[in-house]
Chains A and B, each alone.
Chain A
């Protein structure tokens, strides 16, 4: 019995301990549960509060596959295409376009604004040309005139045929580009070009230091690189953004028309007037430079007739002129 009693007292003692630990547990669980709930409530309240505070902090964005989506503003990052993206899209060109340039020689007064705009866009020295204005004279009896000369972006380009490494290439939109990440500097393309449209970086390019670290844009050919070719690009970077080329928009005299042959529309860079390409060429007796070579240029010239100004030339051009 006494043993039984002892057992009883033992068990009640144990019960006591169990009781106290159960109480402890409920207490702890209650506290932490309350803490979690109140914490979550606080976070939720904060979230609600934040949500209520800036209800319009998202932005609508058009994706590449033409879907309109909404994303929070703080998740928006500026899109910086890497060299690979530039290279891929730069080699492909703009679908459905056939760029064409028309140069009205009757209007050119040798203002050379096209040249300086081009040189500043492409980081060139004053005597490094993608585009040069030449004094031309067919014979002693015919009048001299100014002729802006960009790359002719031939449809049968001799430069592209001879390039050993596919550094210079023809795009689907008609533009001939140069990849100075690829060019080995053999200058075969210079030898092959009958228009002398290409230049070579014999020395360190003009902005070599300032351009260091910039992502190479094949459609702008910047940064320029020593030991590689550079050339007129028809301002392929601007065409991607639907803007007229640097030279075309810089001309003060309305010399340049630029546009898409497929649309039969060219826009004058000065007057911004858009006209029919076919009409323009037909009305003015357009021609292409040395078409007898079979290069099929994409640049058309309108002959220098009915000029509204006197022809003046500077000393150096007089010396350089060959008849």
Chain B
């Protein structure tokens, strides 16, 4: 601390006061947690029903044997990719304005990657045999690759959230005397006697840099491998060579939307208006447009090229999407969740926090439904006709129990995000204090736009 200038200390005083204010266990936090946990309990009861009666309580049957759970899994893996996009891709090329949002992106990555692993267990017919994956695992199976890279990505994201947090925890433990003593204990334990020494910062920076580089191939791997769960099968609709990049580009869309939703929430609820400024929303809106355009491009390739040829089974699948039973969903997703946001966000007035937040909600919901469209319809029309089976086997409808179990996973994500953002500083205190005249800078940059 002694090595830092007086000005830095002044800035640190005001910033830490602003940013550490919401870090507390207040009535709102407790009430919110009670609501989340009771909702989780109800939803987990639905899972116990599934455990007792088997997967027959879902809408899944022999033909559409992967449904909402797998779609939700793909969506979770996709959304978790935003951690890599913001911290690594933008961070390593030296983009400065991501400083206050990088940690939010990591929190999203941690929560979604962690729960993705649980979601896949809810889809298993024999969850009790999960250890078999490690005991009898076969390296040929993409499931093995997925398990490996998702856990790796989760650990890297956790470290990438935690390392830059260490100096902030050192600040928090001295500046939050009125917080519960166990919280201060946790800060003290996790800050590893940090002394804000120049040398410490140097080592930390190096470590973070290594993580930032390592996490790029890992993040690409998790979603590419997830896409291969489908692309390695000889099914019309999944049998595609661009599924890897198609999934990755889609992941950036849903992840960025999730980030914007979280940013808006923290800006309003934690009163971070002067830290998550209009400037930041303006910038992240541009990122959303960019990744959406890339995703639109992959959509064109994925649907237009087979639609031009109309090979027998591709044609059956595409007709279902374009004009068949899935048409309202398909066009709704493509227009409301992709094309319209791109067009709207070209206008500067829309790139303000509130309209951007609303658009992101639509993009986020559409991203979830898009995974459903990717997973479910290709199974309804296999190469050989579906015959002599009960009528309800022909069309997949998720059951309330299935929806409740899926809801449980979303609640779990919210619980993790709440814990990480309410008990620990959600914006980087020390990092922001390093920036001279941080608030003035941001105002200036907005004027330049």
Same complex for A and B? Answer: yes
Cβ of A286 within 8 Å of any chain B Cβ, yes or no, is no
A321 to B55, CA, bound (A): 28
A164 touching B126, Cβ below 8 Å: no
Q: What per-residue 1/0 map shows which CB atoms of A119-152 lie under 8 Å from chain B? A: 0000000010100111110000000000001000
A290 to B312, CA, bound (A): 13
Nearest to B138 among chain A residues (CB) is A166
Cβ of B336 within 8 Å of any chain A Cβ, yes or no, is no
What B residues does A199 contact at CB under 8 A?
Answer: 62
A164 touching B388, Cβ below 8 Å: no
| 7 residue pairs from A and B, CB less than 8 Å apart | A149-B384, A164-B141, A164-B143, A164-B144, A186-B124, A191-B238, A317-B388
> Contact size class for B?
35 or more
Cβ of A284 within 8 Å of any chain B Cβ, yes or no, is no
What B residues does A227 contact at CB under 8 A?
Answer: 54-55, 124-126
Query: B-side binding surface: helix, strand, loop or mixed?
Result: loop
Cβ of A218 within 8 Å of any chain B Cβ, yes or no, is no
B387 touching A290, Cβ below 8 Å: no
What B residues does A316 contact at CB under 8 A?
Answer: 387-388
A191 touching B233, Cβ below 8 Å: yes
A196 to B382, CA, bound (A): 7
B387 touching A132, Cβ below 8 Å: yes
What A residues does B143 contact at CB under 8 A?
Answer: 162, 164, 186, 188
Cβ of A176 within 8 Å of any chain B Cβ, yes or no, is no
Cβ of B305 within 8 Å of any chain A Cβ, yes or no, is no
A149 to B230, CA, bound (A): 24
A127 touching B390, Cβ below 8 Å: yes
Q: What per-residue 1/0 map shows which CB atoms of B352-389 lie under 8 Å from chain A? A: 00000000000000000000000000010111111111
Cβ of A320 within 8 Å of any chain B Cβ, yes or no, is yes
Q: What per-residue 1/0 map shows which CB atoms of A290-323 lie under 8 Å from chain B? A: 1001010000000000000000000011001110
A134 touching B384, Cβ below 8 Å: yes
Nearest to A190 among chain B residues (CB) is B65
Residues of chain B from 138 to 174 with CB closer than 8 A to chain A in the complex: 138, 140-144
B54 touching A203, Cβ below 8 Å: yes
B55 to chain A, nearest CB (A): 5
Nearest to B382 among chain A residues (CB) is A196
Residues of chain B from 184 to 210 with CB closer than 8 A to chain A in the complex: none
Cβ of A117 within 8 Å of any chain B Cβ, yes or no, is no
A149 to B388, CA, bound (A): 12
Nearest to B385 among chain A residues (CB) is A322
Q: Interface on A for B, CB 8 Å cutoff?
A: 127, 129, 132-136, 149, 158, 161-167, 182-188, 190-192, 194-196, 198-204, 226-228, 289-290, 293, 295, 316-317, 320-322
What B residues does A161 contact at CB under 8 A?
Answer: 140-141, 232
Contact of B387 among A185, A188, A195, A320 (CB under 8 A): A320
Cβ of B129 within 8 Å of any chain A Cβ, yes or no, is yes
Nearest to B233 among chain A residues (CB) is A192
What B residues does A164 contact at CB under 8 A?
Answer: 133, 137-138, 141, 143-144
B387 touching A134, Cβ below 8 Å: yes
What B residues does A133 contact at CB under 8 A?
Answer: 388
Cβ of B234 within 8 Å of any chain A Cβ, yes or no, is yes
A289 to B394, CA, bound (A): 23
Nearest to A203 among chain B residues (CB) is B56
Cβ of B66 within 8 Å of any chain A Cβ, yes or no, is yes
B132 touching A165, Cβ below 8 Å: yes
A202 touching B387, Cβ below 8 Å: no
A28 to chain B, nearest CB (A): 70
B253 to chain A, nearest CB (A): 25
A290 to B236, CA, bound (A): 13
B385 touching A135, Cβ below 8 Å: yes
Cβ of B63 within 8 Å of any chain A Cβ, yes or no, is yes
What B residues does A289 contact at CB under 8 A?
Answer: 384
Nearest to A294 among chain B residues (CB) is B234
Cβ of B316 within 8 Å of any chain A Cβ, yes or no, is yes
Contact of A127 among B129, B238, B382, B389 (CB under 8 A): B389
A184 and B133 in contact, given A164-B141, A203-B53, A228-B125 (Cβ under 8 angstroms):
yes
A187 touching B66, Cβ below 8 Å: yes
Nearest to B381 among chain A residues (CB) is A322
Cβ of B61 within 8 Å of any chain A Cβ, yes or no, is yes
Contact of A186 among B123, B232, B379, B394 (CB under 8 A): B123
B66 to chain A, nearest CB (A): 6
B54 touching A204, Cβ below 8 Å: yes
